[in-house]
């Protein structure tokens, strides 16, 4: 028999089969057919409902990964000990290593890519999921679990879960589930027991008589947070609190969490790095391979942890989890020297609902990115729709003959079928699109899934691909960072800068992630007004002036981190904040 003892040095092999993608009835079992040990009669792959890979006999060559027509297999050869195996979702399922620390009277953040086990971690710590230590075929006793964590900080905590002596409050990630479950109930019922003060502070008093099913994402989010904060518990788990919220809301929510939970132990998952930085005392990085495994790092002070995340390297543990460092560069080359692309006239738009928008006139230049900032309900989407020709302004002033690529805020591709067939039918593929859009957006990873079954982040990436692959003079992207994790946001930023700098196209980007917007925008357009009543769109100004003006309206000052140049919010009570405010400087970089 041939000896397959391997070319790949590894201490642990992880073979993951995506149960949704694996369809043995629709393929020729290529994984088994081409597997080198299998060809020599060594049992590695068993085909049942889905393929099962024996990690002991697998040699980690990765041929099955390439041969599988559905991209259902991931093989990882870990070259160093990942950590303590805490949980595994079935045979050849996702694996989570290590658990985070829980600190009394502190907020601890979890920072990592989608699909690396952050929600799984919260489910374990809140007692919803009993960890199985990777033993997928038998029952694991609490005694065994606790023994496994002997000597670590988390041991006592697990004992309390076992005794059911733990009071937790949990703000789940998927708030749309609340909307489904309580669709016909009044907000008032849902908020029963929530302190008057929190309801007022979060502006929920005006929603009390609305039905839960009619609420916007932002409104639901605030209700879920209010509910979680007002529950009397010892431990608070807050999963992605800023999704759907505008910047003002994000900061308000962060302030409320800090204030209400200052004597409690809190764990927060968040992808908006500026908010995570502002909110947390400590962070854990969760690294690994999305969908295959995740490792919770040691705990670090927030600044150190976020900087390591940005570098892609945890020095203290000698772990490199990304082969490049994220970069921030605020001042882009001046676009003023470039050609004018378009004159946007003064415009007005009135809706039946009574909302009224006014837009100042201005020029758009070739090859520039205009970042749009403003609270929810001030007409940003309306403005984008006027440019896209989807809505008409009151006086029909907006009339031009440009090719437009548009990504709406609420994505509905209206397509029943696989991602692959959507692409074949709707996108004219060429090398450029393959290399500069499909690859960085990692579309291949879900190309065999059905469009209606895509996760929020996958749908967002497909929709970005779709709009940017249309040949156009002007691209309009409405909240493209929603549902994306930090790396995906940075990658999107790079894609957009390439469109501006190399292809000389112009783009408008509406977004609430200040770090993302700061890293892409040449100029900033700020929307002012009263949400849902009237909006005022000021003409775009230089990045520095625009961001300063915007931060002033929300009473926040920001400095940049010396090491990484990432923006950081100054604490309200800090000397720096008071000093900057008195000088009228809201962003110092």
Residue numbers at the binding site for ligand ADP (CB under 6 A): 89, 93-94, 114-120, 291, 351-353, 355, 374, 376-382, 532
Residue 94 binds which entry of ligand ADP, Mg ion, none, CB below 5-8 Å type-dependent: ligand ADP
Residue 415 binds which entry of Mg ion, ligand ADP, none, CB below 5-8 Å type-dependent: none
Distance CA 216, CA 197 (A): 22
Of 37 and 115, which has the nearer Cβ to ligand ADP?
115
Of 349 and 449, which has the nearer Cβ to Mg ion?
349
Residue 117 binds which entry of ligand ADP, Mg ion, none, CB below 5-8 Å type-dependent: ligand ADP
Nearest by Cα to 278 from 554, 584, 530, 483 = 554
Encoded tokens for 562: 């010396």
Nearest by Cα to 536 from 353, 354, 356 = 356
Residue 377 binds which entry of ligand ADP, Mg ion, none, CB below 5-8 Å type-dependent: ligand ADP
User: Least separation, in Å, of the C-beta of 211 and ligand ADP?
Assistant: 16
| Phi/psi at 498 (5° precision) | -65, -40
> Coil, strand, or helix at residue 104?
coil
Distance CA 112, CA 290 (A): 10
User: Least separation, in Å, of the C-beta of 466 and Mg ion?
Assistant: 19
Token pair 């595994």: residue: 88
User: Least separation, in Å, of the C-beta of 465 and Mg ion?
Assistant: 21
User: Least separation, in Å, of the C-beta of 142 and ligand ADP?
Assistant: 20
Of 35 and 514, which has the nearer Cβ to ligand ADP?
514
Of 131 and 218, which has the nearer Cβ to Mg ion?
218
Distance CA 84, CA 97 (A): 5
User: Least separation, in Å, of the C-beta of 352 and ligand ADP?
Assistant: 5
Q: Which residues pair with 388 in a beta bridge?
A: none
Contact 516, 493 (CB under 8 A): yes
User: Least separation, in Å, of the C-beta of 372 and Mg ion?
Assistant: 9
User: Least separation, in Å, of the C-beta of 196 and ligand ADP?
Assistant: 26
Alpha helices in 324-472 (DSSP H): 380-388, 419-426, 431-433, 456-468
Q: Give CA angle at 293 (152, 17), nearest 5°.
A: 140
Of 117 and 540, which has the nearer Cβ to ligand ADP?
117
Residues 6+ apart with CB under 8 A from 407: 463, 464, 466, 467, 468, 475, 476, 477, 478, 480
Measured from the Cβ of residue 340, the count of other Cβ atoms closer than 10 Å reads: 9
Supply the DSSP string of 236-273, one letter for each residue: EEEE-TTTT--HHHHHHHHHHHHHHTTTSEEEEE-S-H
Residue 480 binds which entry of ligand ADP, Mg ion, none, CB below 5-8 Å type-dependent: none
Of 134 and 408, which has the nearer Cβ to Mg ion?
408
User: Least separation, in Å, of the C-beta of 520 and Mg ion?
Assistant: 18
The strands making up 587-588's β-sheet, listed across from edge to edge, are: 567-569, 558-560, 587-588
Of 122 and 492, which has the nearer Cβ to ligand ADP?
122
Nearest by Cα to 17 from 69, 72, 98 = 72
Please give the residue whose beta carbon sits closest to Mg ion in the complex. 381
100, burial (CB in 10 Å: exposed 0-12, middle 13-18, buried 19+) = buried
Binding-site ranges for Mg ion (CB under 5 A): 380-381, 409
User: Least separation, in Å, of the C-beta of 479 and Mg ion?
Assistant: 6
User: Least separation, in Å, of the C-beta of 382 and Mg ion?
Assistant: 8
Of 33 and 390, which has the nearer Cβ to Mg ion?
390
Token pair 């894609």: residue: 495
Residue 518 binds which entry of ligand ADP, Mg ion, none, CB below 5-8 Å type-dependent: none
Polymer length in residues for the chain: 589
User: Least separation, in Å, of the C-beta of 153 and ligand ADP?
Assistant: 21
Of 52 and 498, which has the nearer Cβ to ligand ADP?
52
Of 101 and 469, which has the nearer Cβ to ligand ADP?
101
Contact 14, 292 (CB under 8 A): yes
- In the DSSP assignment, the letter for residue 186 is B
Max distance between CA atoms of the chain, in angstroms, equals: 82
Residue 97 binds which entry of Mg ion, ligand ADP, none, CB below 5-8 Å type-dependent: none
User: Least separation, in Å, of the C-beta of 380 and Mg ion?
Assistant: 5
Residue 89 binds which entry of Mg ion, ligand ADP, none, CB below 5-8 Å type-dependent: ligand ADP
Three-class DSSP labels, 475-497: EEEECCCCCCCHHHHHHHHHHHH
Of 239 and 511, which has the nearer Cβ to Mg ion?
511
Of 95 and 380, which has the nearer Cβ to Mg ion?
380
Contact 349, 391 (CB under 8 A): yes
Of 18 and 38, which has the nearer Cβ to ligand ADP?
18
User: Least separation, in Å, of the C-beta of 120 and ligand ADP?
Assistant: 3
Distance CA 588, CA 579 (A): 11
Of 324 and 410, which has the nearer Cβ to ligand ADP?
410
Distance CA 233, CA 321 (A): 35
Three-class DSSP labels, 37-57: HHHCCCCCEEECCCEEECCCC
Encoded tokens for 171: 């703000």
User: Least separation, in Å, of the C-beta of 548 and Mg ion?
Assistant: 23
């Amino acid at each position: 028999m041939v000896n397959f003892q391997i070319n790949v040095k590894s201490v642990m092999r992880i073979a993951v089969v995506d149960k949704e993608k694996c369809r043995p009835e629709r393929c020729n079992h290529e994984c088994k057919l081409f597997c080198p040990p299998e060809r020599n009669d060594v049992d590695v792959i068993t085909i049942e409902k889905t393929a099962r890979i024996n990690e002991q006999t697998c040699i980690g060559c990765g041929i099955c990964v390439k041969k599988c027509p559905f991209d259902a297999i991931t093989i990882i050869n870990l070259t160093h000990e990942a950590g303590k195996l805490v949980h595994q979702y079935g045979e050849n399922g996702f694996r989570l290593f290590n658990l985070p620390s829980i600190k009394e009277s502190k907020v601890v953040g979890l920072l990592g890519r989608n699909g690396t086990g952050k929600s799984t971690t919260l489910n374990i710590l809140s007692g919803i999921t009993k960890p199985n230590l990777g033993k997928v075929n038998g029952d694991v006793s609490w005694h065994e679990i606790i023994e496994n964590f002997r000597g670590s900080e988390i041991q006592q905590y697990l004992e309390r879960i076992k005794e059911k002596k733990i009071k937790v409050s949990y703000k789940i990630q998927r708030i749309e589930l609340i909307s489904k479950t309580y669709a016909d109930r009044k907000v008032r019922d849902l908020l029963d027991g929530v302190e008057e003060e929190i309801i007022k502070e979060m502006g929920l008093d005006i929603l009390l008589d609305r039905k839960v099913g009619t609420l916007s994402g932002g409104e639901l989010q605030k209700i879920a947070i209010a509910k979680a904060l007002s529950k009397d518990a010892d431990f608070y788990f807050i999963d992605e609190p800023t999704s759907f919220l505008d910047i003002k809301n994000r900061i308000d929510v962060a302030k409320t969490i800090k204030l209400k939970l200052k004597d409690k132990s809190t764990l927060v998952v968040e992808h908006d790095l500026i908010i995570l930085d502002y909110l947390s005392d400590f962070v854990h990085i969760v690294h690994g391979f999305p969908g295959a495994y995740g490792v919770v790092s040691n705990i670090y002070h927030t600044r150190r942890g976020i900087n390591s995340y940005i570098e892609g390297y945890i020095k203290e543990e000698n772990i490199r989890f990304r082969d490049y460092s994220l970069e921030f560069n605020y001042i882009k080359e001046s676009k003023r020297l470039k050609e004018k692309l378009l004159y946007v006239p003064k415009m007005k738009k009135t809706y039946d609902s009574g909302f009224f928008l006014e837009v100042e006139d201005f020029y758009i230049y070739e090859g520039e990115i205009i970042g749009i900032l403003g609270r929810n309900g001030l007409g940003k989407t309306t403005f984008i729709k006027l440019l896209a020709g989807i809505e008409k302004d009151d006086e029909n002033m907006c009339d031009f003959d440009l090719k437009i690529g548009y990504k709406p805020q609420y994505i509905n591709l209206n397509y029943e079928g696989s991602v692959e067939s959507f692409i074949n039918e709707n996108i004219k593929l060429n090398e450029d699109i393959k290399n500069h859009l499909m690859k960085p957006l990692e579309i291949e990873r879900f190309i065999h899934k059905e469009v209606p079954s895509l996760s929020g982040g996958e749908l967002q990436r497909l929709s970005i691909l779709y709009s940017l692959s249309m040949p156009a003079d002007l691209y309009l992207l409405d909240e493209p960072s929603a549902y994306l994790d930090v790396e995906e946001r940075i990658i999107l930023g790079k894609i957009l800068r390439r469109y501006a700098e190399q292809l000389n196209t112009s783009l408008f980007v509406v977004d609430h992630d200040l770090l993302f917007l700061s890293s892409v925008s040449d100029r900033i357009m700020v929307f002012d007004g009263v949400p849902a009543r009237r909006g005022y769109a000021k003409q775009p100004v230089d990045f520095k002036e625009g961001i300063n003006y915007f931060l002033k309206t929300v009473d926040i000052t920001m400095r940049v981190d010396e090491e990484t140049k990432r923006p950081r919010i100054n604490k309200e009570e800090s000397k720096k904040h008071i000093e900057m405010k008195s000088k009228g400087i809201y962003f110092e970089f």
